[in-house]
Chains A and B, each alone.
Chain A
Amino acid sequence: MNRKYLGSLITTALLVSVLVSSGVTAAQAADPPAGDVGTQSVCDARWRYKTTGRGSNTFRKVGGEKSAYNGTKSPALVTFTSSESASVGSVITTTLNVQLSVVLASANQAYDLGLHSTLSVQKGVDIEIKVPSKRTGVGQYGVHRAYIKGSEWYENRSCTTSKKHSTKVYAPYRDGWKTWID
């Protein structure tokens, strides 16, 4: 098996643009709520984040579907090999004011997943399946993303906090095949 992973760490300079249906951009959403002036500086005014849970993983296809028909009278072993390399990034489906790296660090601490913003996979990943007689074996290679549920809020200098809102981040963390018999 010729495979190698590369991970890309998001830099602090990374610009994450999040488009939401309301038209609010990440930059707009990052403006601190009112009431953050004229108070004694006790806390660092900033957005805060906490991982609250995990949800169902999602699957990102890499390359096309493979298939092989077994026209013999006996079951046959078929090997599928991934034929494309890819870098699969994280997906954010809500407003997110903290950096993605903050979310991933929090999730890694909570669940020990070793998440990075991007996972790169290379072609040459094999799986061998048994295909019954007169049937077609099908396989799709890809990358699974972990669904990270979170909560985000703004804390101002007087240590009062804004209302929390939920965040959803999908971060790549495993590769593999989905196979089935048609």
Chain B
Amino acid sequence: MATIGCAAALLALAGCTTASFEIPRPSVTASSGPPALPTEFLAYEPVEGERAVGTLATQTGINSLGPFTVASERVAVYVDCLGQGTVSVEISGVARFDNPCYPRVGPLGTRNELDMRYVDDYTVTVTATDEQLWALTITEPDS
């Protein structure tokens, strides 16, 4: 609440249901094989307070964005993945993480924000299988 800086109000989820649901698993039949991946998988679209550096949508397998010359002290890496397991995300010279994939679309993506002051340029590489559909957006947040 403090980060919002609004003294006017507070949400009280009193009585909020604790019922939760498991992420649904895709139904797969022996005869039909795995469900087909969507033909389109959108990447995160930046909102006010950040500028897009690069975007990849509807990806499978391995692909990269960059190299980019560092123009901001920080970048945010948004990754979404549809499928099973995890995909590997590497920001060269800066960081690496495994991003989970889920059998349905969001709110299941990640946003990882990194300090870029100690590199001159960078490339973001996502390593996935052909059965994992992913999307990537790199942004520069306002400081």
Q: Which one of A7-15, A43-51, A154-162 contacts B?
A: A7-15
Name the CB-closest residue of A to B23.
A5
Task: Point out the residue from B8, B86, B109 that lies within 8 Å of A174, measured CB to CB.
Answer: B109
Given A112-B42, A129-B114, A181-B117: A7 and B20 within 8 A (CB)?
A: yes
> Are the C-beta atoms of B47 and A127 separated by less than 8 Å?
no
Contact with B along A1-37 (1 / 0, CB 8 A): 1011111111101111111110000000000000000
Q: Is A97 an interface residue when CB atoms closer than 8 A count as contact?
A: no
> Are the C-beta atoms of A170 and B112 separated by less than 8 Å?
no
Q: Which 8 pairs from chain A and chain B are nearest by CB?
A: A114-B106, A56-B49, A173-B107, A180-B115, A93-B6, A176-B111, A17-B12, A15-B15
Q: Bound state CA distance, A90 and B10, in angstroms? A: 10
Q: Is A55 an interface residue when CB atoms closer than 8 A count as contact?
A: yes
Name the CB-closest residue of A to B45.
A111
B residues in contact (CB < 8 Å) with A:
1, 3-4, 6-23, 42, 45, 47-50, 74, 78, 86, 93-98, 100, 102, 105-115, 117-118
Given A5-B23, A19-B9, A126-B97: A175 and B110 within 8 A (CB)?
A: yes
B113 contacts across to A, CB distance below 8 A: 176-179
Q: Is A98 an interface residue when CB atoms closer than 8 A count as contact?
A: no
Q: Bound state CA distance, A158 and B78, in angstroms? A: 47
The number of chain A residues with a CB under 8 A from chain B is: 65
Q: Bound state CA distance, A54 and B46, in angstroms? A: 10
> Are the C-beta atoms of A59 and B20 separated by less than 8 Å?
no
Q: Bound state CA distance, A175 and B79, in angstroms? A: 11
> Are the C-beta atoms of B9 and A14 separated by less than 8 Å?
no
Min CB gap B104→A, angstroms = 8
Given A4-B23, A8-B18: A130 and B107 within 8 A (CB)?
A: no
> Are the C-beta atoms of A21 and B97 separated by less than 8 Å?
no
> Are the C-beta atoms of B114 and A179 separated by less than 8 Å?
yes
Q: What 20 additional pairs, Cβ within 8 angstroms, besides A58-B3, A178-B113?
A: A7-B20, A8-B16, A18-B10, A18-B11, A21-B9, A55-B48, A56-B50, A93-B11, A113-B107, A118-B16, A127-B95, A127-B112, A128-B95, A130-B95, A174-B78, A175-B111, A176-B112, A177-B112, A179-B112, A181-B118
A58 contacts across to B, CB distance below 8 A: 3-4
Task: Point out the residue from A7, A17, A91, A129 that lies within 8 Å of B4, measured CB to CB.
Answer: A91
Task: Point out the residue from A59, A91, A172 that lies within 8 Å of B1, measured CB to CB.
Answer: A91
Q: Is A115 an interface residue when CB atoms closer than 8 A count as contact?
A: yes
